Structure 1
């Protein structure tokens, strides 16, 4: 019984890394911060989107790697050394002549548990504010990414994937209780939508949602919003970083999640089946 209670809680650390143009520096800094997080009791650690590379279409081909490669080898080794679950943010991946924005997940034994290629590419044009087209260099992924831990199932998305409620719903239906999105929202969409989308996904699905941003660098060509965040199943922000490089810790309480679902029961299989039938009719 005590072991079951222990498994109902675990410590999550979000590493809000300040990314530089030097890949080796990014890898070394990320490795040290992961170790720092583990030493402070984190059992699961997550890095930001494009943690080994500046974010930008001109950078993706230059910094791209095969998987396995230099960056993922580091992630595997540090996950094993620290005995943690490690969500490796994302890196530009090269495979068969195509580039992807890819997140790899490693277990406490160093084995790769999941590889998520960003499904929804960041193609936006807000006149007078920002225009960015990931599809200029990247190809989209086409699969869902769920991994098991002794605590719960975890679903992985990357940045723009957060905007698509269907992905979170699918992950929840697959049994996920925590959704993690490495992301790099910008100074236009960040203040408007970053927290709002996380709270919506958490509340809609009664799950924990965590997002991990790079630290803000006002001198970069793409300025990240920062504010790595954790939202609970009630829709409350329970942990939030500022803009600087930092590690944000929070305890994920799965007993609390179960209580919320019991108090406000929305996970009726009958309703989900009904919606599925209606969708097929359309």
Structure 2
């Protein structure tokens, strides 16, 4: 299957887990009415983006009302769903974790955010995920009927090495549920997604929460799809909404033949430097 019809659910996240799950469910149902076959939710879609809320909203994978609901929707509607991310509890640790469900409602991949968002932009924004979250340490390349899908989360996109590893292991689409803020979003969001797509000649997708002006952490929104030529083929505004867009994976082969970046890589020199 070379064509995938994606639905990017840019939902408004509030301080109410049940309401967030309900909003996600409604957007999934609407996506199905548009014949989407791969639905993506934002980073921390069931939880306000705040360290104290990560602790409060945390769920264990084996007993998660959020994941149980998404699983049932995937199975009922015979559709793939990437459940953006949620705060996942495991023993005494807390992770920022994304789950991919297949059409039978089974978890076929999970990604724990590898690079934690610890920043201090003077006078604008300070945030330290590492105060409460533990970083993941595994690459996530999911095998699906559409081919291999690489998964990262938000800040992970800033590290080109991660994207390259996923592509070298066969990923043709890179997906990063994210929640850039009103400082980093306007400056870097589109640039990063275009860059990762262009560098690796793949499709690159970001799905964010909508801008909630009442929240302590304000998401930039602007969920996006970029193609292997580095072009933006779909992008939302800051408001809640749904993007439905079909991509054709055959574009990857065409562009790699026209501009053979990966083939022309000087691996002989890079490996010497690494040693």
Range of TM-score over shorter length:
over 0.9
- Alignment counterpart, residue 17 of structure 2, candidates 23, 30, 36: 23
Name which of structure 1's ranges 33-42 and 111-120 shifts more when overlaid on structure 2.
Answer: 33-42
Question: Residue 171 of structure 2 corresponds to which residue in structure 1?
Answer: 176
3-state SS in 1 of match to 2:52: coil
Are 2:28 and 1:8 aligned?
Answer: no
Are 2:161 and 1:163 aligned?
Answer: no
**C-alpha displacement at 1:274, in angstroms?**
2.1
Are 2:229 and 1:255 aligned?
Answer: no
**C-alpha displacement at 1:10, in angstroms?**
1.4
Are 2:52 and 1:58 aligned?
Answer: yes
- Equivalences for residues 106-185 of structure 1 within 5 A: 106-185=101-180
Q: Distance in 1 between matches of 2:153 and 2:266?
A: 25
**Where do 5+ consecutive residues of structure 1 fail to align?**
1-6
3-state SS in 2 of match to 1:171: helix
Closer, same or farther in 2 for the Cα pair 1:158/1:275, shift >3 Å? farther
Closer, same or farther in 2 for the Cα pair 1:74/1:272, shift >3 Å? farther
Question: Residue 261 of structure 2 corresponds to which residue in structure 1?
Answer: 266
- Alignment counterpart, residue 190 of structure 1, candidates 178, 185, 192: 185
**C-alpha displacement at 1:8, in angstroms?**
1.2
The count of corresponding residues between Structure 1 and Structure 2 is 274
Question: Residue 4 of structure 1 corresponds to which residue in structure 2?
Answer: none
Q: Distance in 2 between matches of 1:202 and 1:223?
A: 26
**C-alpha displacement at 1:266, in angstroms?**
1.6
Q: Distance in 2 between matches of 1:275 and 1:134?
A: 36
**C-alpha displacement at 1:36, in angstroms?**
1.1
Question: Residue 41 of structure 1 corresponds to which residue in structure 2?
Answer: 35
**Which structure 1 residue ranges, 4+ long, deviate > 6 Å from structure 2?**
none
**Where do 5+ consecutive residues of structure 2 fail to align?**
none
Checking the alignment, whether the CA contact within 8 Å between 2:34 and 2:244 is kept in structure 1 is: no
3-state SS in 1 of match to 2:274: helix
Closer, same or farther in 2 for the Cα pair 1:142/1:256, shift >3 Å? same
What TM-score does the superposition give when structure 2 sets the normalisation length? 0.97
- Equivalences for residues 214-225 of structure 1 within 5 A: 214-225=209-220
Checking the alignment, whether the CA contact within 8 Å between 2:160 and 2:196 is kept in structure 1 is: yes
3-state SS in 2 of match to 1:132: strand
3-state SS in 2 of match to 1:89: strand
What TM-score does the superposition give when structure 1 sets the normalisation length? 0.95
